[in-house]
Amino acid sequence: MSGALHAIDCDVHPTVPDMKALLPYLDDFWRETVEERGINSLETVTYPPNSPLTSRPEWRGKNGRAATAAAEVTAQVCDRWQAGVAILNSLYGVGLLFSEDMAKAFTSALNDWVAKEWLDQDPRLRASIVIPLQNTEYAVDEIERCAKDRRFVQILTLAMGEMLLGRRHYWPIFAAAERHGLPIGIHAGSAYRNPVTALGWPTWYIEDYAAQAQGFQSQVASLITEGAFAKHPELKIVLLESGVTWLPAFLWRFGKFWRGLRTEVPWVDRAPWEIVRDHFRLTIQPLDAPDDPHAVERAIEHLRSDDILLYASDYPHWQFDGDNVIPAGISPALRRKIAIDNPLATYARLKEDAR
Amino acid sequence: MNIEVRAKDRAQQSKLSIIDCDFHPRLTHEQMKPFLTNQWWSYLQTYGNRQRHGQAKGYNYPKIVPQASRRDAWPPSGGPPGSDVDFCREQHLDFYGIDYGILTPLGSSTGNGDQNVELSIALASAANEGQLAYWTAKEPRLKPSIVVPYEDGVASAAEVRKCAANKEFKQVFLLSKIAEAHGRKRYWPIYEAAAEAGLPVGIHAFGYGGWPLTNSGYPSFYIEEMTEHATGAQAMVTSMIMEGIFERWPELKIVLIECGFGWLPALGWRLDKHWKRLKDEVPHLKMAPSEYIRKHFWVTTQPMEETENPDHLLEVMNWIGFDRIMFSSDYPHWDFDDPFVSLPPSLTDEQRRKIYSGNARALYRLD
């Protein structure tokens, strides 16, 4: 790791320009499938390409896209914002596919593309393993395949899926994560198997985006109630682009019902907020809080933990203006923890020399 | 929450006036019979309710106790909890010295969310008659809510206009889990009729809209169902703001009943933050989302969030506004909040007066 005092940016997004980019990483059958069936793009409506949130305007290149090459990302995130390490989380829509076999092929191609076109280009880059959650066995295979490359530091899933992530169906993935010391990252996004709200499909994009925070709440509740941490005590979860400030009130409510209903889930043997502090981490962008630094300070105080937040720019998503990756209202001592200590404690592989 | 059996001799008059904004009368199907046609009564006997889930009798998620009710709320007369006016009066209204209770009838007998909307229309009307006949006629401290067959906006508006002529009805009553998000056009006739009648719209947690409780499908446990009512309510509030209903009906007032309230400030922050970036999508909004929350939403207290640090609850209450929080007990359900002990002790007298009765008295125009 270059420069021990440099921040670790835990949420950066490489953009896949189109399906052609993945062709070299597919076998003949799937390459032909892409061409014959006219599969041009797997971009998702989670981030409509032209939406202001998808990229800050000045970061868009001639083709209108941002972050299509490693040098673009490192110039902004590592050089300008002084990150010694940036973790790449690809949001390309392989999770939307319904064919398990196609999902497996395209997901593997995506991970190989990230390794070759990104990780090989700059030693400051790390990445998450995207997994074909459509089939648990395939997902575990993909973890085993990619985890050999120590530059992969996390397993990546989305906030909204076909089933809640705590369900026992997915536990082989948690076993693999524990085996390799990899946290499970849950990023904003959806496989679009269920409506994005409990009230169906809303009208406006801003409602879709707001509903991501509801997806995170449901995943936290599921992982805890199903007993994932009782079974896998080393399991760590990182909530990426979650918005953060929904967490305290969610835990107060969930904790209250745990007190009243714990007989239903006897393996949850301590309060949810304790479990969250031990097993969950959240990235700092976006921080859904008012601009007022005092309000930010109060909202952070409600988390009751200095260990829980991780530095992240969410580049190229437009979450803040200027260079204020860490919002005003966070103390200098906490800034250091967020930027360096907490990420190092979360991602074991960052302490290694990756090559 | 408490399921403690209180000794009668501990009954006391609270120094403060109390208005309970969530009191559940149990209207039985049998009680609906006089208000239904023979055809609908016969239909109910043969086919029963179908509320967008698979259980013919009972709930998707079995409750933690029978009827989700306090063990001590089963009346000696033999009916289900919340069905015996005299027992409710003694156990709840008199015991706590409650000035008024707002009736919030739940259950399939009210027709809420039935797949058969014509049945919902018939049952909603019967539930409104039933509240008057079985409850308010016997106990004038109890005030009825207008049950509407909400999946049919036009029929709901007609029911609101019919009932609103009787000033006893204090609000229009919806549930939080319905077939589409509450801001969607199909529900606009309800808001139009409520605004015209000058009645708040009370939205109680629960219901079956036919969608999974989370955007990752159905959870496994009742504890998750209970927790997820807040996420559903977040989508509901978001929709009502983003669809612009408060620009259309600027006088409209919404009461969130049993939805919790701790999440409301953070939701406002999230909507404000991303609205700044995405406001060109929703040009019909004339102010920040949190300003609509501040202006148009009231909350009831139960189930009150339990914070680790008591100051944090007060901070959240302050962010919402002490003029917007109204006490509710959820009698006779298991997670009942006791009027004597559930509010934070460090509230000022003025704050307590507002929460226990002042805000509800003004909103519902009681007295």
pLDDT in tens, A126-176: 999 999 999 999 999 999 999 999 999 999 999 999 999 999 999 999 999
Residue A203 CB contacts under 8 Å (≥ 6 apart), including other chains = B181, B183, B184, B239, B242, B243
Which of A198, A219, A288 is opposite residue B235, by nearest beta carbon? A198
Nearest CA in chain B to A299: B266
The band of B3, judged by pLDDT with boundaries at 50, 70 and 90, is very low
% of residues, chain A, pLDDT over 90: 97
Question: Is residue B34 predicted with pLDDT exceeding 80?
Answer: yes
> What's the farthest any 2 CA atoms get from each other in chain B?
62
Give buried/exposed letters for A28-39 (b at 16+ CB in 10 A, else e). Answer: eebbebbeeeeb
Residue A305, chain B, CB below 8 Å: the answer is: no
Distance from CA of A340 to the nearest CA of B (A): 26
β-pairing, B18-23 vs A309-310, is unpaired
The band of B13, judged by pLDDT with boundaries at 50, 70 and 90, is very low
Do residues A90 and A128 touch, judged by C-beta distance below 8 A? yes
* Residue B336 in tokens: 């009942």
Asked whether the beta carbons of residue A304 and residue B211 sit closer than 8 angstroms, the reply is no
Do residues B82 and B148 touch, judged by C-beta distance below 8 A? no
Distance from CA of B232 to the nearest CA of A (A): 5
Q: Which helix (H) or strand (E) holds A186?
A: strand A184-190
Q: What residues of chain A, 251 to 270, have a C-beta less than 8 Å from chain B? A: 252-265
pLDDT at residue B6, rounded to an integer: 53
Q: What is the mean pLDDT of residues A43-65?
A: 95
What are the phi and psi torsion angles at B5 (to 5°)? Answer: -90, 115
Q: Report the sign of the C-alpha dihedral through residues B77, B79, B81, B86, in that order.
A: negative
Q: What residues of chain B, 333 to 352, have a C-beta less than 8 Å from chain A? A: 334-335
Asked whether the beta carbons of residue A246 and residue B270 sit closer than 8 angstroms, the reply is yes
Q: What residues of chain A, 64 to 123, have a C-beta less than 8 Å from chain B? A: none
% of residues, chain B, pLDDT over 90: 93
Question: Is residue B202 predicted with pLDDT exceeding 50?
Answer: yes
Asked whether the beta carbons of residue B215 and residue A160 sit closer than 8 angstroms, the reply is yes
pLDDT at residue B58, rounded to an integer: 84
Which of B180, B223, B235 is opposite residue A265, by nearest beta carbon? B223
Question: Is residue B2 predicted with pLDDT exceeding 50?
Answer: no
Asked whether the beta carbons of residue A164 and residue B219 sit closer than 8 angstroms, the reply is yes
Q: Report the sign of the C-alpha dihedral through residues B37, B41, B42, B43, in that order.
A: positive
Q: Is A105 helix (H, G, I), strand (E, B) or coil?
A: helix
Chain A with chain B: Cβ pairs closer than 8 A:
247
* Residue B70 in tokens: 């306090």
Rounded Cα distance, B53 and A121, in Å: 53
* Residue B48 in tokens: 């029963």
Residue B270 CB contacts under 8 Å (≥ 6 apart), including other chains = A210, A213, A243, A245, A246, A288
Average pLDDT, chain B: 95
Q: What is the mean pLDDT of residues A48-53?
A: 96
Do residues B228 and B219 touch, judged by C-beta distance below 8 A? yes
Asked whether the beta carbons of residue B1 and residue A260 sit closer than 8 angstroms, the reply is yes
pLDDT at residue A2, rounded to an integer: 39
The band of B16, judged by pLDDT with boundaries at 50, 70 and 90, is confident
Asked whether the beta carbons of residue B222 and residue A256 sit closer than 8 angstroms, the reply is no
Average pLDDT, chain A: 96
Which of A195, A245, A253 is opposite residue B211, by nearest beta carbon? A195
Q: Which residues of chain B does A190 touch, with a Cβ-Cβ cutoff of 8 Å?
A: 215
First to last CA, chain A: 10
Q: Give me the amino acid identity at B12.
A: Q
pLDDT at residue A355, rounded to an integer: 47
Within chain B, how many helices (H) and strands (E) appear? 14, 9
Q: Which residues of chain B does A202 touch, with a Cβ-Cβ cutoff of 8 Å?
A: 181, 235, 238-239, 242
Residue B267 CB contacts under 8 Å (≥ 6 apart), including other chains = A210, A213, A246, B234, B237, B238, B293
Best of B1, B65, B214 to mutate (most A CBs within 10 Å, chain A): B214
Q: What residues of chain B, 280 to 319, have a C-beta less than 8 Å from chain A? A: 280-282, 303-309, 312-313, 315-316
Q: Which helix (H) or strand (E) holds B142?
A: strand B142-143
Q: Which of A89, A88, A72, A80 is nearest to A6 (CA)?
A: A80
Distance from CA of A352 to the nearest CA of B (A): 35
Which of B239, B260, B303 is opposite residue A202, by nearest beta carbon? B239
Asked whether the beta carbons of residue B266 and residue A246 sit closer than 8 angstroms, the reply is yes
% of residues, chain A, pLDDT over 70: 98
Do residues A131 and A156 touch, judged by C-beta distance below 8 A? yes
Residue A299 CB contacts under 8 Å (≥ 6 apart), including other chains = A244, A245, A248, A287, A289, B266, B269
The band of B57, judged by pLDDT with boundaries at 50, 70 and 90, is confident
Q: Which of A139, A130, A111 is nearest to A186 (CA)?
A: A130
Nearest-10 crossing angle of helices A272-279, A247-261: 130
The band of A354, judged by pLDDT with boundaries at 50, 70 and 90, is low
Distance from CA of A220 to the nearest CA of B (A): 10
Residue B139, chain A, CB below 8 Å: the answer is: no
